[in-house]
């Protein structure tokens, strides 16, 4: 299939034909439940709907494992599996196929998507059991899995973009799942529209990349070939800036939309309007990491653009910090987790910005485990509390919900970065890479964010599970641990959140950094991320960041558990203004409302006025003219054309009326005429 | 004794023709008219035969007469069928009453 197969450096590709089933099975599930789901649910029960929906990602997980082990058996430099399904677009110099590719990077992603996704599907069967539109929920969830798998498996930018848009669509549909409430529906629209802004950047980057490569005689959108031809972009200029810088900046704009970074993060907290398992799957574990995946996938380009790297690291650090500050003030348990997700994504972008791509993907993976576990845990709590999300009305839940509490606590320890939980290894590695790369300010901001992470996460633990229950009697009476279908996924995820860090023990801790090694053939090693040997400072920083995290936990404990510290002093600092600003999310939504949205709205009002007055005026005016003209034509037609026709008709009938008198119908009369005529003729002859 | 010649036949033919014509012109009964037409045809036959006997050497006249007889039979069949049709339609065969082709 490769047009450029003659090039010697072409990566060795192993063709297989089972990869297509990884995305197609969930698509099949979406089609079955989307078309026949209502019938199945009525006639066969919700269990069948749930079973179909769960089977698809789990079968996908089996296939993903198969792909993983097949890769494992290959030489590291040749770890690429390709399944070319069919030729897609072959127009001019553009040649794109629907082809799925598994390399170490996408193998990690598909394992997360099908594995965590499968667990969340199972969890959902219990969480959504009262939902009347059960089938619709699972159809969307399966469709999302399909789109996300397409995103990570596509071997070219276009197919990736199909998945990129598909996950946005499914995200929209699932945020607004309970669309009868205006707030949910508008949250879905907000997510979709904000994402479109980023998608615009993604598209522009794709076009620019393609045409720049085309000018260098190697037009391609295939990732393998982009990697191969990327050096051709070196030194190219676009409007006075390096072309690579422009491309990567536009790509990063796309990533900020999908992965909720400043300035396009505003949709993610509102996305919590969707069902909680959706928040776990889409808005924590998978979709929001698409931006990180995309940067890792195109790391060769990002590595060539240090300016973009600096911007990414800065934006990531700023996002990590600001989202963490907002997280400390929220009372809605899902909002806390949402801002935590934004903040953790910021950490991943720091890693991407400093060129530690493998580390970023590692944090992506550990985050998928512990954040999915946290969201599902919060869902378990919300389920038990009859859809109460305000932590001020919770408290003491560990008595009723021991499994949920234990798993939530383990994941909280992981996200706080306490060794030996997974978050410690991934987050600490990011901090170290930032510091050793010379980005000391980024490092400092990130450490502050990490401290706040520990604080607000333990705040949520203490407010939700510890202390006295603040729930009303009715709710308290019905408190119960969630069913097995919910607790078992929680336990599996908690186990992963606890132990997955051991996959990538750094050399400093006498490990082998296996995860980095696994990704090494695919992602860049970070030309501008300095390589250092193990240094004493690494241990110092490690201890420092752990100490900071522990300090955050202790402050949270003092404020919300032992109550030796009153949260009020923080609230009242700076006359309460600071607190109110943070609590109201820095008024960013309001600022966007006042600027972008109000601007768009007034533009659209102006357009509507223009449309209603000028365009409609022209249309209506021409209609009036046509009407007048047609009236004139009508008169002409009536009097002149019809007059002529009718005149001919009237004349004919007049003549006919006269002539018909001759035709009496009386045979005798005819005979007399005949005889007379014969006699007349004879007389004429004789004379 | 007077020799019977061509003229005698022609006179008989003319008398039969006039009788037929009178019948056709005066009858109001459709069958009567048809009978008049038969008389006219037969007067023509008399003329054919007379001319064939007295002023020709061939048999053309006789052959024509045979054709006319045959034609008259056909004409009578068709005419009587029409009369029957008219009777069904108008319940009369008076030609003065049937001066229209449709009801």
Give the integer Cα–Cα distance in Å for A331 and A583.
9
Which chain B residues are closer than 8 Å to A665 by Cβ? Answer: 98-101
Any residues with CB less than 8 A from the CB of A475 and at least 6 apart, and which?
A: A385, A386, A388, A393
Give the integer Cα–Cα distance in Å for A169 and A523.
29
Measured CA distances, A474 to A385, A396, A467, A478 (Å): 10, 15, 19, 7
Give the integer Cα–Cα distance in Å for A663 and B102.
14
Determine contact: B68 vs chain A, CB below 8 A: no
Which chain B residues are closer than 8 Å to A664 by Cβ? Answer: 99
A667:B101 CB<8 A: no
Give the integer Cα–Cα distance in Å for A541 and A549.
12
Least CA distance to B96: which residue of chain A?
A666
State yes or no: pLDDT of A596 exceeds 50: yes
Half-sphere exposure of B2 (CA within 13 A, CB side): 5
Which chain B residues are closer than 8 Å to A671 by Cβ? Answer: 24-25
Between A75 and A682, residue with greater pLDDT:
A682
> Using 50, 70 and 90 to split pLDDT, how confident is the model at A664?
confident
Average the pLDDT over A310-332 and give the result.
91
Least CA distance to A665: which residue of chain B?
B99
Joined tokens for residue A551: 């300090």
Of B25, B100, B101, the CB nearest to A668: B25
Between A398 and A139, residue with greater pLDDT:
A139
Which chain A residues are closer than 8 Å to B100 by Cβ? Answer: 665
Between A85 and A525, residue with greater pLDDT:
A85
Looking at residue A3, what is its pLDDT? 41
> Using 50, 70 and 90 to split pLDDT, how confident is the model at B92?
confident
Q: How far is B6 from chain A (nearest CA, A)?
A: 22
Give the integer Cα–Cα distance in Å for A362 and A446.
17
Q: Which residues in A have their CB inside 8 Å of a CB on B?
A: 664-668, 671-672, 675
> Using 50, 70 and 90 to split pLDDT, how confident is the model at A471?
confident
Q: How far is A655 from chain B (nearest CA, A)?
A: 20
Which chain B residues are closer than 8 Å to A666 by Cβ? Answer: 95-96, 99
Joined tokens for residue A354: 């400093």
> Using 50, 70 and 90 to split pLDDT, how confident is the model at A347?
very high
State yes or no: pLDDT of A85 exceeds 80: yes
Give the integer Cα–Cα distance in Å for B9 and B50.
6
Determine contact: B33 vs chain A, CB below 8 A: yes
State yes or no: pLDDT of A327 exceeds 50: yes
Determine contact: B24 vs chain A, CB below 8 A: yes
Which chain A residues are closer than 8 Å to B102 by Cβ? Answer: none
Looking at residue A406, what is its pLDDT? 93
Q: Which one of A665, A669, A676 would you mutate to disrupt binding with B, by most B Cβ within 10 Å of its Cβ?
A: A665
As to burial, measured by CB atoms within 10 angstroms (0-12 exposed, 13-18 middle, 19+ buried), residue A240 is exposed
Fill in the DSSP letter of residue A384.
H
Of B33, B96, B101, the CB nearest to A666: B96
DSSP string for residues in A475-532: HHHH--PPPHHHHHHHHHHHHHHHHGGGGG--GGGT---HHHHHHTTTS---TTS---
Measured CA distances, A473 to A71, A183, A469 (Å): 56, 29, 10
Residue at token pair 């900071």: A548
B28:A675 CB<8 A: no
Give the integer Cα–Cα distance in Å for A274 and A557.
31
- ipTM of the complex as predicted: 0.75
**Percent of chain A topping pLDDT 70:** 96
Give the integer Cα–Cα distance in Å for A162 and A165.
5
β-strand A81-91 against A14-15: which pairing, if any?
A: parallel
Q: In which region does residue B100 sit, left (phi positive, over 0), alpha (psi from -120 to 50) or beta (all else)?
A: beta
B25:A675 CB<8 A: yes
Give the integer Cα–Cα distance in Å for A368 and A341.
10
Give the integer Cα–Cα distance in Å for A373 and A214.
46
Between A90 and A573, residue with greater pLDDT:
A90
pTM above 0.80, yes or no: no
State yes or no: pLDDT of A509 exceeds 70: yes
Looking at residue A101, what is its pLDDT? 92
**Percent of chain A topping pLDDT 90:** 46
Looking at residue A54, what is its pLDDT? 93
Average pLDDT score over chain A? 87
Phi, psi (degrees; rounded to nearest 5) at A304:
-85, -5
Looking at residue A533, what is its pLDDT? 58
Per-residue model confidence as pLDDT tens digits over A264-314: 888 898 888 889 999 998 888 889 999 999 999 999 899 888 899 999 999
State yes or no: pLDDT of A1 exceeds 60: no
> Using 50, 70 and 90 to split pLDDT, how confident is the model at A6?
very low
Give the integer Cα–Cα distance in Å for A609 and A148.
41
Between B74 and A263, residue with greater pLDDT:
B74
Q: How far is A620 from chain B (nearest CA, A)?
A: 58
> Using 50, 70 and 90 to split pLDDT, how confident is the model at A123?
very high
Cβ count near A637 (within 10 Å): 12
Q: Please give the torsion angle defined by the CA atoms of residues A661, A667, A669 and A674, in that order, rounded to the nearest 10 degrees.
A: 110
Of B24, B96, B99, the CB nearest to A671: B24
Per-residue model confidence as pLDDT tens digits over B31-43: 999 999 999 999 9
Which chain A residues are closer than 8 Å to B95 by Cβ? Answer: 666-668
Phi, psi (degrees; rounded to nearest 5) at A390:
-80, 120
Which chain A residues are closer than 8 Å to B97 by Cβ? Answer: none
> Using 50, 70 and 90 to split pLDDT, how confident is the model at A174?
very high
Average the pLDDT over A331-360 and give the result.
92
A665:B100 CB<8 A: yes
Which chain A residues are closer than 8 Å to B21 by Cβ? Answer: 675
Q: How far is B101 from chain A (nearest CA, A)?
A: 8
Average the pLDDT over A246-266 and give the result.
91
Which chain B residues are closer than 8 Å to A672 by Cβ? Answer: 25
Cβ count near B77 (within 10 Å): 10
Q: How far is B65 from chain A (nearest CA, A)?
A: 23
> Using 50, 70 and 90 to split pLDDT, how confident is the model at A8?
very low
Which of A45-59, A109-123, A588-602 is least confident?
A588-602
With CA atoms as reference, report the closest residue to A94 among A9, A213, A254, A237.
A213
Between A69 and A582, residue with greater pLDDT:
A69
Give the integer Cα–Cα distance in Å for A361 and A364.
5
Least CA distance to B18: which residue of chain A?
A675
Least CA distance to B30: which residue of chain A?
A667
Determine contact: B37 vs chain A, CB below 8 A: no
Give the integer Cα–Cα distance in Å for A163 and A144.
9
Contact A465, A561 (CB under 8 A): no
A668:B98 CB<8 A: no
What's the alpha-carbon Rg for chain B, to the nearest Å? 17
> Using 50, 70 and 90 to split pLDDT, how confident is the model at A414?
very high
Average the pLDDT over A95-114 and give the result.
92
Peptide bond between residue A54 and the one before it cis (omega within 30 degrees of 0): no
> Using 50, 70 and 90 to split pLDDT, how confident is the model at B59?
confident
Per-residue model confidence as pLDDT tens digits over A480-496: 888 888 999 999 999 99
Q: Helices A243-258 and A157-175 sit at what angle, rounded to 10 degrees?
A: 20
State yes or no: pLDDT of A368 exceeds 60: yes
Measured CA distances, B47 to A222, A632, B55, B56, B59 (Å): 113, 76, 11, 13, 14
State yes or no: pLDDT of A121 exceeds 70: yes
- Each domain of chain A, given as residue ranges in start order, spans 11-155, 209-572, 587-662
Looking at residue A75, what is its pLDDT? 84
Average the pLDDT over A633-656 and give the result.
91
Average the pLDDT over A4-11 and give the result.
46
Give the integer Cα–Cα distance in Å for A389 and A333.
6
Looking at residue B60, what is its pLDDT? 86
> Using 50, 70 and 90 to split pLDDT, how confident is the model at A515?
confident
State yes or no: pLDDT of A5 exceeds 70: no
Looking at residue A254, what is its pLDDT? 92
B28:A666 CB<8 A: no
Peptide bond between residue A158 and the one before it cis (omega within 30 degrees of 0): no
CATH top class, domain B11-90: mainly alpha
Contact B41, B68 (CB under 8 A): yes
Any residues with CB less than 8 A from the CB of A65 and at least 6 apart, and which?
A: A111
B25:A672 CB<8 A: yes
Q: Give the count of Cβ contacts less than 8 A between chain A and B.
A: 19
Looking at residue A361, what is its pLDDT? 92
Determine contact: B79 vs chain A, CB below 8 A: no
Average the pLDDT over A238-260 and give the result.
90
Of B25, B96, B100, the CB nearest to A671: B25
């Amino acid at each position: 299939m490769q047009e450029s197969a003659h090039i010697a450096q072409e990566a060795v590709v192993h063709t297989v034909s089972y990869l297509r089933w990884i995305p197609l099975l969930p698509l099949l599930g979406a089609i079955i439940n989307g078309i026949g789901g209502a019938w199945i649910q009525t006639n066969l029960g919700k269990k069948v709907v749930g079973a179909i929906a769960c089977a698809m990602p789990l079968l996908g997980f089996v296939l993903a494992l198969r792909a993983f082990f097949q890769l494992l058996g290959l030489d590291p430099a040749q770890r690429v599996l390709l399944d070319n399904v069919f030729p897609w677009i072959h127009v001019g110099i553009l040649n794109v196929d629907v082809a799925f590719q598994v390399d170490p990077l996408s193998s990690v992603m598909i394992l997360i998507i099908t594995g965590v996704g499968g667990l969340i599907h199972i969890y959902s069967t219990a969480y959504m059991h009262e939902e009347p539109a059960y089938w619709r929920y699972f159809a969307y969830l399966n469709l999302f899995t399909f789109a996300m798998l397409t995103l990570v498996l596509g071997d070219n930018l276009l197919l990736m973009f199909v998945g990129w848009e598909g996950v946005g669509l499914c995200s929209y549909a699932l945020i607004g799942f309970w669309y009868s409430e205006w707030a949910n529906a508008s949250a879905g629209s907000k997510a979709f529209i904000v994402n479109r802004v980023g998608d615009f950047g993604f598209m522009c980057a794709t076009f620019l990349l393609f045409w720049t490569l085309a000018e260098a005689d190697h037009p391609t959108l295939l990732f393998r070939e982009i990697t191969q031809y990327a050096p051709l972009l070196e030194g190219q200029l676009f409007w006075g800036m390096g072309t690579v810088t422009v491309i990567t900046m536009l790509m990063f704009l796309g990533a900020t939309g999908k992965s909720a970074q400043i300035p396009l993060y505003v949709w993610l907290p509102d996305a919590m309007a969707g069902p909680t398992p959706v928040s776990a799957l889409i808005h924590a574990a998978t979709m929001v990491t698409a931006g990180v995946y995309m940067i890792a996938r195109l790391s060769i380009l990002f590595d060539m653009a240090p300016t973009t790297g600096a911007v990414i690291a800065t934006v990531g650090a700023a996002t990590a910090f600001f989202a963490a500050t907002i997280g400390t003030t929220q009372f809605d348990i899902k909002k806390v987790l949402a801002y935590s997700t934004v903040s953790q994504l910021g950490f991943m972008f720091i890693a991407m910005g400093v060129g530690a791509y493998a580390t970023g993907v590692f944090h992506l993976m550990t985050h998928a485990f512990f954040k999915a576990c946290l969201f599902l845990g919060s869902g378990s709590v919300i389920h038990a509390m009859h859809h109460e999300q305000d932590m001020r009305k919770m408290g003491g839940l560990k008595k009723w919900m021991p499994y949920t509490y234990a798993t939530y606590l383990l994941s909280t320890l992981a996200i706080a970065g306490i060794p030996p939980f997974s978050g410690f290894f991934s987050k600490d590695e990011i901090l170290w890479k930032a510091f050793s790369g010379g980005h000391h300010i980024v490092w400092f901001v990130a450490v502050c964010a990490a401290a706040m992470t520990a604080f607000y996460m333990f705040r949520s633990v203490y407010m939700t599970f510890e202390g006295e229950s603040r729930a009303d009697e009715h709710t308290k009476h019905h408190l119960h641990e969630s069913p097995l279908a919910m607790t078992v996924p929680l336990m599996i995820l908690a186990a992963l959140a606890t132990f997955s860090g051991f996959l990538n023990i750094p050399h400093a801790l006498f490990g082998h950094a296996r995860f980095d090694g696994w990704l090494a053939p695919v992602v860049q090693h970070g030309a501008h991320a300095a390589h250092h040997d193990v240094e004493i400072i690494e241990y110092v920083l490690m201890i420092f960041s752990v100490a900071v995290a522990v300090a955050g936990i202790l402050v949270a404990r003092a404020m919300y558990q032992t109550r030796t510290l009153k949260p009020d002093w923080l609230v009242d600092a700076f006359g309460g203004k600071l607190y109110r600003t943070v609590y109201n999310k820095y008024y960013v939504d309001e600022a966007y409302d006042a600027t972008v949205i109000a601007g768009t709205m007034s533009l659209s009002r102006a357009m509507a006025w223009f449309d209603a007055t000028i365009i409609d005026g022209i249309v209506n005016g021409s209609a009036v003219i046509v009407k007048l003209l047609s009236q004139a034509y009508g008169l002409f037609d009536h009097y002149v054309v019809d007059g002529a026709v009718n005149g001919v008709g009237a004349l004919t009938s007049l003549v006919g009326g006269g002539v018909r008198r001759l035709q009496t119908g009386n045979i005798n009369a005819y005979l007399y005429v005949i005889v007379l005529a014969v006699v007349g003729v004879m007389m004429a002859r004789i004379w | 004794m007077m020799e019977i010649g061509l003229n005698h036949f022609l006179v008989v033919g003319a008398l039969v023709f006039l009788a037929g014509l009178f019948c056709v012109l005066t009858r109001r009964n459709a069958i009567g008219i048809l009978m008049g037409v038969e008389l006219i045809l037969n007067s023509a036959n008399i003329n054919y035969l007379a001319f064939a006997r007295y002023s020709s050497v061939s048999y053309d006249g006789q052959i024509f007469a045979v054709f006319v007889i045959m034609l008259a039979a056909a004409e009578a069949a068709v005419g009587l069928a029409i009369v029957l049709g008219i009777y069904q339609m108008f319940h009369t065969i008076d030609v003065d009453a049937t001066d229209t082709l449709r009801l």
